[in-house]
Amino acid sequence: MIGIKRRTPAMPPPVQAATHHRAAHYDGAVGSIGAARRLTADFLHQLAAEWYAPVGAEQMQDILLVVSELATNAERHSGGPYLVELAGDAESVHVTVWDSGSTLPRVFAPDPLRIGGHGMEIVLRLCDGLTMELVPVGKRVSARFDLT
């Protein structure tokens, strides 16, 4: 009998996901916006520690404020639950809020005398890119923050 030597293939090295993700569903109950901010803060700390993302204290506050504004809009205007989705790597962070509302947020021209309606104005000033689109289940609003 001829001996056959079987070659065992080497295991490939583990592959890290291309992007770090986290998401949570909120029903709009008291404390939902604070919970979304905590989720975001934990996400950003993990992104900085494990992905070496250069998230400074000021940029972290900007991202948290945008999460607050987008979650507030979802609670006020959609009439239903919403989802906060976070994605990031060493170069950027994306904050996306999905809700069941069928109307895109309005962006008003800056007016220091207007009471209210400044949320999207704030979001636009703080982020590096904003997309708003209707989707089959409602709408998706996504803000991008460049870290480099």
Q: Give the pLDDT score at 16.
A: 54
**Could you confirm whether domain 21-146 is CATH 3.40.50.2300?**
no
* CA 30 from centre of chain: 21
pTM over 0.75? The answer is yes
Q: What separation in angstroms does the CA of 62 have from each of 19, 47, 54, 69, 125?
A: 21, 16, 14, 11, 10
Is residue 82 within 8 A of residue 28, CB to CB? The reply is: yes
Digitized pLDDT (tens) for each residue of the chain, 148 residues in all: 444 444 445 555 545 568 999 999 999 999 999 999 999 999 999 999 999 999 999 999 999 999 999 999 999 999 779 999 999 999 999 999 999 999 999 999 989 999 989 999 999 999 999 999 999 999 999 999 999 8
Q: Give the pLDDT score at 18.
A: 81
Give dist(CA 105, CA 52) in Å, integer: 33
Task: Give residue limits of the domains in the chain.
Answer: 21-146
Helix axes 32-51, 57-78, angle to 10 degrees: 150
Q: Give the pLDDT score at 8.
A: 47
Q: Give the pLDDT score at 6.
A: 45
100-116 exposure pattern, b = at least 16 Cβ within 10 A, e = fewer: ebeeebeeeeeeeeeee
Q: Give the pLDDT score at 79.
A: 79
Give dist(CA 33, CA 125) in Å, integer: 20
Q: Give the pLDDT score at 5.
A: 44
